[in-house]
Amino acid sequence: MTTTVVVDYGWGNLQSVVQATRHAAPEGMQVLRSGLPEDVKRADRLIVPGQGAFRDTSASLYETPLGESILEKMRAGTPYFGICMGLQILFESSEESPGSRGFGWFKGSVQKLVGSASIKIPHMGWNSLSLKNGGHPLVQAAGGEGGYVYFVHSYHAVPDDSGIVRATVQHGDNVITAAVSRDNVTATQFHPEKSQAAGIALLRHFLTT
- What pTM value is reported for the model? 0.96
pLDDT at 124 over 80: yes
Choose the catalytic residue: 123, 153, 156, 191: 191
From 123, 171, 193, 205, the catalytic residue = 193
191 tagged catalytic: yes
Query: Which position among 84, 136, 153, 171 bears the catalytic label?
Result: 84
Q: Whose CA is closest to 52, among 21, 18, 88, 16?
A: 88
38 part of the active site: no
What angle (nearest 5°) sits at the alpha carbon of residue 173, between those of residues 186 and 92? Answer: 40
The CATH number for 82's domain is 3.40.50.880
Q: Answer whether residue 117 shows pLDDT above 90.
A: no
Average pLDDT score over residue span 159-164:
98
What pLDDT shows up at residue 35? 97
Domain count, the chain: 1
3-state helix, strand, coil in the chain (%, to 5): 30, 30, 40
Average pLDDT, the chain: 96
- Domain of residue 187 covers 2-208
Residue range 4-55, pLDDT digits in tens: 999 999 877 799 999 999 999 999 999 999 999 999 999 999 999 988 899 9
- pLDDT 10s digits, 171-195: 999 999 999 999 999 999 999 999 9
Query: d(Cα 201, Cα 209) in Å, to the nearest integer?
Result: 12
What pLDDT score was predicted for residue 90? 98
pLDDT confidence of residue 77? 98
84 is catalytic: yes
